[in-house]
């Protein structure tokens, strides 16, 4: 197993309250890793540690290491914008940027200067925008109104736009925090399909509070419980033969 | 029954307060129009005064119109250039620190300082530098006067930006500067516009701060170092004469000032409407 992200003795604090307690886990390269656990156990906190977005919250402190391809993203010389470019995030609720649909997708490429590269290669930004809107399964619905405000889309469409926007930066890892929680079943299914396809090339990490979704998507599972890591491993093994009592109780619906 | 009565009482009270506000607005506008309109003619708008701004019954107030637009326009422009970075800094880089809280408090205090104090302050500095009353002096003083209201207005509107929106931009690898300029400024454009407009209104309507710093003259300014007239002072001087004919010209000047303020707010309303369509909620 090739490790993409190695989490070592990771602690996170909101003020005095400790939300993550000495997490040790590995996220394999490629495939889908799902973080599960009862509400408030620290899933979102853990996820937001992986692209250093957690530190944008007031009063947060993080200690420990997160190795991305063997390099600590919390090291002093690590560049936070580079980390976030390599590790993308899909938030639970879609928040389009205050601009057109087209500009939402091209935003990341423009700030990172990927556009100039494309011109040299004779490829245009338009093609890239189309490519990522297709990848997010949104192209057919918006191709005639690319320059309309993104805020005019439905919630399900906005979430797929946020996916396209994240993909357009070409991240190596995509983090998704309950990516379907704000969506209707059909939009949710679409997002799931896209993530599944995507996981062929990209490492996908999903936070989910739905065990069914975890069963459908996960290649690998991380189970959290009150800020502690209880167990992690291949999905098949976790579902068929959980080692820990708490995992078993959670899986069989006794808690959470 | 009692609750219904309370409700009725509260509604009546609110209705009355609204009526008082709208009534006084109408009364002010009515007075200015009623007394100013008869004296308003093309010459008023297109000529400089003949026979002196204080006693002259001929010519117009073009000097004051142009002067006021230069003064308030220049000051607002300068104030925007200074305010936007301050407001973004307060919000994005250092939101909760003690220094920032102190900066906000200072700005609120500065907003409460009477404009004559700004005028006196500007005048003192100009004396120290050996500057005479001039367009430049007026613009700089008005900039100081406009800054607190503009910065705080922008600050408040940037504070309304949802954390999740900022995080969306950060999560794509934006730096704070990119997030500020490409996302926050777009999202808050209508709020920023309102802050700018409020500041412009404060600047163009103020007499006390330009009295010593910009001076007054019958001529149109040809350089930043020339003294320059302004509409509030035109009102002030003409209203102070014993002649009813000149006093009428004061009301006409007030009418022109009011129309300029109304026009700017209408135009910016229109602009804001166009900016609003991209805002996410
Ligand atoms: N901004 C915050 N300030 C203070 N405490 C917080 C903050 N965000 C989360 N916490 C606390 O940290 C712990 C973990 O929260 P987190 O959001 O990571 O849980 P979660 O597993 O994602 O829950 P859910 O499934 O409900 O989304 C909780 O006890 C929560 O109260
Ligand atoms: Mg959560």
Give, for all 281 residues of chain B, the pLDDT tens digit. Answer: 888 999 999 999 999 999 999 999 999 999 999 999 998 888 888 888 887 777 777 888 999 999 999 999 999 999 999 999 999 998 877 666 788 888 899 999 999 999 999 999 999 999 999 989 999 999 999 999 999 999 999 999 999 999 999 999 999 999 999 999 999 999 999 999 999 999 999 999 999 999 999 999 888 999 999 999 999 999 999 998 888 888 999 999 999 999 999 899 888 888 888 777 778 77
**How far is ligand 1, taken at its centre, from the CA of residue A45, in Å?**
6
Dist CA B184 CA B190 (whole Å): 11
**Residues, Cβ < 5 Å to ion ligand 2:** A 44
Cβ atoms of A58 and B96 within 8 Å: the answer is: yes
Chain B interface includes A176 (CB < 8 A) = no
Question: What is the residue with the minimal CA distance to atom 26 of ligand 1?
Answer: A39
Dist CA B262 CA A157 (whole Å): 41
Dist CA A56 CA B169 (whole Å): 12
Dist CA B165 CA B226 (whole Å): 48
Which residues sit with their C-beta closer than 6 Å to ligand 1? A 14, 17, 19, 37, 39-45, 57, 209
State the CB neighbour count (10 A cutoff) for residue B5.
9
Which ipTM value was assigned to this complex? Answer: 0.91
CA distances from A157 to A59, A233, B22, B125 (A): 34, 33, 44, 59
Residue of B nearest to A106 (CA): B172
Residue-by-residue DSSP string for A63-96: EEEEEETTEETTSTT--HHHHHHHEEEE-SS---
Q: Which two tokens stand for residue A82?
A: 């580079």
Ligand whose nearest atom lies closest to the CA of A256: 1
Dist CA B135 CA A48 (whole Å): 54
Nearest to B61 by CA among B217, B202, B203, B212: B217
Nearest to A101 by CA among B64, B277, B163: B277
The third-level CATH classification (topology) of the domain covering A3-95+171-251 is Rossmann fold (3.40.50)
Q: How far is A164 from chain B (nearest CA, A)?
A: 11
Residue of B nearest to A50 (CA): B171
Strand partners, A206: A34, A176
> What residue ranges do the domains of chain A occupy?
3-95+171-251
- Quick check: A98 and B183 CB within 8 A? yes
Query: Whole-prediction pTM value?
Result: 0.86
For domain B61-278, the CATH architecture is Orthogonal Bundle (1.10)
């Amino acid at each position: 197993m090739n490790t993409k992200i190695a989490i070592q003795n990771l602690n996170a604090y909101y003020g005095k309250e400790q939300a993550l307690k000495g997490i040790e886990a590995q996220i394999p390269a490629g495939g889908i890793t799902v973080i599960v656990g009862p509400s408030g156990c620290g899933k979102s906190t853990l996820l937001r540690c992986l692209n250093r977005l957690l530190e944008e919250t007031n009063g947060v402190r993080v200690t420990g290491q997160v190795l991305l391809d063997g390099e600590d993203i919390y090291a002093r010389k690590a560049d936070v914008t580079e980390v976030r470019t390599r590790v993308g995030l899909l938030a639970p609720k879609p928040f389009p940027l205050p601009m057109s649909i087209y500009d939402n997708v091209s935003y990341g490429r423009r700030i990172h200067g990927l556009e100039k590269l494309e011109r040299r290669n004779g490829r245009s930004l338009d093609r890239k925008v189309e490519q990522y809107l297709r990848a997010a399964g949104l192209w057919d619905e918006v191709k005639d109104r690319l320059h309309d405000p993104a805020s005019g889309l439905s919630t399900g469409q906005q979430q797929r736009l946020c996916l396209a926007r994240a993909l357009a930066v070409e991240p190596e890892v995509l983090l998704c925090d309950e990516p379907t929680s704000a969506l209707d079943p059909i939009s949710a299914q679409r997002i799931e399909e896209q993530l599944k396809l995507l996981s062929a090339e990209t490492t996908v990490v999903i936070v989910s509070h739905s065990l069914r979704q975890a069963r459908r998507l996960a290649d690998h599972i991380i189970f959290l419980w009150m800020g502690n890591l209880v167990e992690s491993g291949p999905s098949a093994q976790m579902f068929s033969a959980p080692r820990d009592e708490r995992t078993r109780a959670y899986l069989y619906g006794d808690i959470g | 029954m009692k609750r219904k009565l309370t409700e009725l009482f509260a509604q009546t009270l609110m209705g009355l307060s609204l009526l008082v506000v709208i009534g006084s607005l109408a009364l002010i506008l009515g007075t200015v129009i009623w007394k100013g309109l008869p004296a308003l003619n093309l010459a008023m708008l297109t000529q400089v005064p003949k026979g002196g701004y204080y006693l002259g019954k001929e010519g117009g107030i073009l000097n004051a119109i142009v002067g006021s637009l230069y003064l308030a326009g220049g000051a607002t422009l300068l104030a925007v250039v200074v305010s936007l970075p301050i407001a973004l800094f307060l919000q994005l880089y250092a939101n909760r620190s003690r220094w920032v809280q102190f900066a906000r408090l200072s700005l609120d205090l500065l907003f409460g300082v009477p404009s004559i104090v700004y005028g006196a302050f500007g005048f003192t500095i100009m004396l120290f530098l050996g500057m005479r009353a001039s367009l430049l002096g007026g613009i700089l003083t008005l900039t100081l006067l406009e800054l607190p209201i503009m910065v705080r207005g922008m600050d408040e509107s940037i504070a309304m930006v949802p954390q999740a929106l900022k995080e969306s931009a950060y999560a794509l690898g934006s730096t704070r500067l990119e997030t500020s300029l490409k996302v926050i400024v777009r999202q808050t454009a209508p709020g920023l516009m309102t802050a700018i407009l409020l500041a412009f209104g404060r600047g163009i309507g103020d007499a006390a701060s330009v009295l010593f710093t910009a001076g007054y003259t019958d001529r149109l300014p040809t350089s930043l170092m020339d003294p320059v007239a302004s509409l509030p002072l035109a009102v002030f001087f003409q209203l102070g004469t014993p002649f009813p004919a000149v006093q009428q010209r004061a009301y006409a000047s007030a009418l022109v000032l009011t129309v300029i303020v109304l026009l700017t707010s209408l135009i910016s309303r229109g602009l804001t409407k166009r900016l609003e369509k991209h805002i996410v909620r």
